[in-house]
Amino acid sequence: MRKKIVAGNWKMNKTYEEALTLVSEIDNMVKDEVTGEVTVVIAPPFPYLQSVGKLTQGNDKLHLAAQNVSEHESGAYTGEVSARMLQSIGTEYVIIGHSERRMYHHEDAQTLYQKLKASIAQGLKPIFCCGEPLEERDADRHFDYVGQQLHDSLSYLSNEEFDKVVIAYEPIWAIGTGRTASSQQAQEMHAYIREQLSRLFDAEAAYNTSILYGGSCNPGNAKELFAQPDVDGGLIGGASLKSRDFTDIIKSF
């Protein structure tokens, strides 16, 4: 059975105090209001991971994610955080290949593969992001573009390794822009991604993989997006910084 997942990517936002307030509010709202089977993932900035993790420990719907991880195991890599460190403080998921990291930190497909490998080796569940820029969509090359991203970073994983991976489709033109992919655009890309996964891995693994949509997802559009057969949840940016909006998105299933 594929999991329904709503993940909040806080990006580089919130002070420590604000982060604790936000997570306490989410914890309470999820406890009081969310009845369905949905996994809620929260990805705060690195310095808050442990404290946020402690606050969510008593709530089995809430799970902790990091926004990034080093591709290296350990050693002289100043400023980097390893998968083992994340695992040792109770982190369960890790976002890999977000377009902002590909763009601003020049993370290429091979580096992302190494990050996937390092994370899986430590028992972390990667949320692997893919998605095309506007010019690729306008040129009608979006399927090929995303297919290539999947192939270039995932194809070296074994079926067992791939088993832990969650995919997030985030068209770059929809991130932080207020412009969402229509539910039809999301569905056709998610179905295409699942089809590509079934070529790279076994069909059952592809069927069971959760594929999340990200990009200006909000309480107003989540219901229609999540109703699509191949949309298994969302990776939420801006709206995950507001407890009311984030909870309403979770309740859209």
Residues near ligand 13P (CB under 6 A): 9, 98, 170, 175-176, 214-217, 235-239
Query: Closest residue (Cβ) to ligand 13P?
Result: 237
Catalytic site residue 170? yes
Cα–Cα distance between 99 and 150 in angstroms, integer?
A: 13
| Minimum distance from residue 205 beta carbon to ligand 13P (Å) | 24
Q: Where are the beta strands (DSSP E) in 24-150?
A: 39-43, 62-66, 93-96, 125-130
Q: Is 129 helix (H, G, I), strand (E, B) or coil?
A: strand
| Minimum distance from residue 202 beta carbon to ligand 13P (Å) | 28
Catalytic site residue 17? no
Nearer to ligand 13P by Cβ, of 118 and 236: the residue is 236
| Minimum distance from residue 160 beta carbon to ligand 13P (Å) | 27
Measure the CA angle with vertex 95, ends 28 and 66; round to 5°. 55
Nearer to ligand 13P by Cβ, of 201 and 253: the residue is 253
Contacts 24+ apart (CB under 8 A), 32-38: 33/247, 33/251, 34/61, 34/247, 34/250, 34/251, 36/4, 36/251, 36/253, 37/4, 38/4, 38/5, 38/6, 38/233, 38/250, 38/253
| Minimum distance from residue 81 beta carbon to ligand 13P (Å) | 18
Tokens standing for 77? 């890599």
Query: Between 243-250 and 16-33, two packed helices, what is the crossing angle to 10 degrees?
Result: 40
Catalytic option among 63, 98, 142, 190: 98
Nearer to ligand 13P by Cβ, of 201 and 250: the residue is 250
Nearer to ligand 13P by Cβ, of 146 and 217: the residue is 217
Catalytic option among 71, 107, 136, 170: 170
Catalytic positions: 98, 170
